Amino acid sequence: MTGYLDRLADLLREQHGLPPEHVAATVADLAAHLAQAGGADPETAFGPVDAFARRLAPSGAAVPADEHLETWRFLADTYADEDLLNRFGDEGWEVERVDPLGRFVSHRDPERPRRWEYRRELVTGAGGRLGERLAAAGWEPCGSWVVYAWFKREKAAGAGPEPAQSEAPPVPRRATFPGRRRGYVLMGGALVLVAAAVVAASTGTGFGVGLAVGLPAGALVPPVTAWAVRGRRR
């Protein structure tokens, strides 16, 4: 593991120009991820080190080797990501990409922060046409994860000229932002009802009672989940 991560750090610094502190944080996060996976082999988990380095710092998307730039990675689920991205975009954070761990990798110039706005889209077979349509309105891709893609544009491009903040707020201390758990709570409640019905039927309370309660409760799970997800999507 150590040899792989050391080689990765060298590639990120020397070939891709990432700042040392950025590289150190990335390697530390990857080491923690491998440890949580029970000491998984890094090449099995991430692939060949040269290719993985290119994925972490693709051409034209690497953090500029500018020591005064601030860098920050954070994780947010789809119940909260757009609101948070736009909040942090107002503070000057520009997302470069979504890394292999699903985190938003961002940077800003604390002396001359620029304001950004973001949107998330569900990627389908027409993803290319979607990108072209958004590009016409000034949006550019800044990362993707599974079935989602995120786009950014400088705030002035969509909202008219606005002065940038003269003093950037401090870097947030948090790195993980779970969203509202409405859907999970309701789905959990439905599953509890299903479990209660099964227990009632198996303990002699009555198979008919179990079906009467369990079937409607189980039927609620898919629509409840869809309602919870749809409530946070465009």
pLDDT in tens, 197-223: 555 656 655 555 554 555 555 555 445
Closest to 150 (Cα-Cα) out of 232, 80, 95, 71: 95
Residues 73 and 130 in one domain: yes
The mean pLDDT of the chain is: 73
Give the strands of the sheet with 176-177, arranged side by side. 94-98, 104-108, 70-76, 176-177
Residues 135 and 102 in one domain: yes
- pLDDT value, residue 54: 78
Segments forming the whole domain that contains residue 93: 68-179
User: 0.85 exceeded by the pTM?
Assistant: no
- pLDDT value, residue 33: 80
Residues 43 and 126 in one domain: no
Residue 167 pLDDT exceeds 90:
no
Dist CA 55 CA 107 (whole Å): 18
- For residues 6-42, b (16+ Cβ closer than 10 Å) or e, as one string? eebbebbbeebebbeebbeebbeebeeebeeeeeeeb
Question: What integer is the mean pLDDT of 166-175?
Answer: 68
Band the pLDDT of 23: cuts 50, 70, 90. Answer: confident
Residues 140 and 226 in one domain: no
Question: What integer is the mean pLDDT of 175-204?
Answer: 57
Report which DSSP code applies to 165: P
Q: How many domains does the chain have?
A: 3
Residues 53 and 89 in one domain: no
Residues 73 and 137 in one domain: yes
**% the chain with pLDDT above 90:** 17
Give 53's contacts (C-beta < 8 A, 6+ positions apart). Answer: 8, 11, 12, 15, 16
CB atoms near residue 231 (< 10 Å)? 11
Which of 3 and 180 is assigned the larger pLDDT?
A: 3
**% the chain with pLDDT above 70:** 62
Range among 27-36, 154-163, 171-180 with highest mean pLDDT value: 27-36
Residue 2 pLDDT exceeds 60:
yes
Residues 78 and 146 in one domain: yes
Range among 50-64, 132-146, 148-162, 174-188 with highest mean pLDDT value: 132-146
Burial class (CB in 10 A: 0-12, 13-18, 19+), 75: middle
- pLDDT value, residue 91: 93
Residue 57 CA to its chain's centroid (Å): 17
The continuous run of DSSP H or E covering 33 comes out as helix 20-36
> Cα Rg for the chain, rounded, in angstroms?
23
Residues 162 and 218 in one domain: no
Which residue type does 13 have?
R
Residue 55 pLDDT exceeds 90:
no
Report which DSSP code applies to 103: P
Which residue type does 141 have?
P
Question: What integer is the mean pLDDT of 162-173?
Answer: 63
Residues 51 and 126 in one domain: no
Which of 103 and 221 is assigned the larger pLDDT?
A: 103
Token pair 């990675």 in the structure block, residue: 73
Token pair 């947030």 in the structure block, residue: 172
